[in-house]
Amino acid sequence: MTPAFDVRDLEVRYGGRIAVDGVSLRARPGEIVALLGPNGAGKSTLLEALSTAVAPDRGRIEVFGHDVTAEPVAARRRIGMVFQEQTLDVDLPVERNLWFHARLFGLPRTRARSRIDEVLERFGLADRRRDPVEELSGGLARRLEIARALLHSPGLLILDEPTTGLDPEVRRAVWADLARLRDDERVTVLYATHYLAEAELADSVAIIHNGLKVRSGAPAVLKEELAATALILSTSDDEAAAAELVHAGFDASSGPGGVLVRCARPEQRIAEVVRAVTVPVTEVALREPSLDDVYFATTEA
């Protein structure tokens, strides 16, 4: 099966600075992939190279088998792009924004009309088609941008920080839309985010740090590989207990949830941990690793 996208040893430089450093990444059709990393990590540059907006300095990128350098037009026809900043013409009605996009991609008039009707209906915008964009809420405007990106029926939808500035309810609606695209139309979705909770929604996560892909895989697999199960202790004096555990050689810290103790095979060391504490221990629990643990263990290494 031809990958939806295939990035191999990608390097992108800005002057003397390497923004993307030897990254390789691929996805199957119908897969949701998250690029997770802090601002300035290289996520946006990677997306720009994939979408043909930035030329690679080294490496190769293919979109459904089309080399983005040798066949940029063919590659772009398979890509829908949603930028971090809104790019709609706010003075024009919803429908007119879509017509401009249809003309840009050369859709025949009959096909364009049917696709506009389809995407407006899919994203709950049919009754707003004649409203100026400036009258839309932030959530509806984002939905319109996704609808516009899908107008020419691309197989790959690329989104850069798609829910920045949206409230939690609207963010949930956007992710429900993306999941439906994957499930109903097998659209591949690639998005950049610095929200750990949003990365959990992906089928696969690539953690980007200082231009490098430092780890990738399904969220559940990344957690299993971390082997970072920890102990949580509730005590009569958590700060004192944490200090005693650190003195005994454990990686321990106190917080709102109690004393967090990270160690190998913690389920086998409960008695040892409890013996190292002189203050009363009221409860001991095992905590499974989260994607937060994966992210911070990877980027702080």
Give the per-residue pLDDT at 69.
95
Q: How far is Cα 212 from Cα 37, in angstroms, rounded to an integer?
A: 10
The predicted structure's pLDDT at residue 27: 97
* pLDDT score of 229: 67
Instruction: Please identify which residue in the block is written with the tokens 């969220």.
Output: 219
- pLDDT tens-digit profile of 100-122? 999 999 999 999 999 999 999 98
The three-point CA angle 29-32-33 to 5° equals 105
pLDDT at 132 over 90: yes
* DSSP calls for 96-161: HHHHHHHHHTT--HHHHHHHHHHHHHHTT-GGGTTSBGGGS-HHHHHHHHHHHHTTT--SEEEEES
203-209-213-219 Cα dihedral, nearest 10 degrees: -20
pLDDT of 263 strictly over 80: no
Which residues, other chains included, contact 296 with Cβ-Cβ below 8 Å and sequence gap of 6+? none
Chain centroid, CA 286 distance in Å = 28
Residue with the bigger pLDDT between 263 and 43: it is 43
**What are residue 192's DSSP bridge partners?**
35, 160
pLDDT tens figures, 154-202:
999 999 998 887 888 888 888 988 999 999 999 999 999 888 888 888 9
Of the pLDDT bands very low, low, confident and very high (cuts 50, 70, 90), residue 226 is low
Query: Please, which pLDDT band fits residue 294 given cuts at 50, 70 and 90?
Result: confident
Q: Is the pLDDT of residue 137 over 80?
A: yes
pLDDT confidence bin for 225, thresholds 50/70/90 = low
pLDDT exceeds cutoff 60 at 228: no
pTM for the whole thing? 0.79
Strand partners, 188: 156
Confidence of residue 300 (pLDDT cuts 50, 70, 90): low
- Residue 218 vs residue 301, higher pLDDT: 218
Q: Quick one: average pLDDT of 245-266?
A: 87
Domains and CATH numbers, the chain: 5-223 (3.40.50.300), 227-299 (3.30.70)
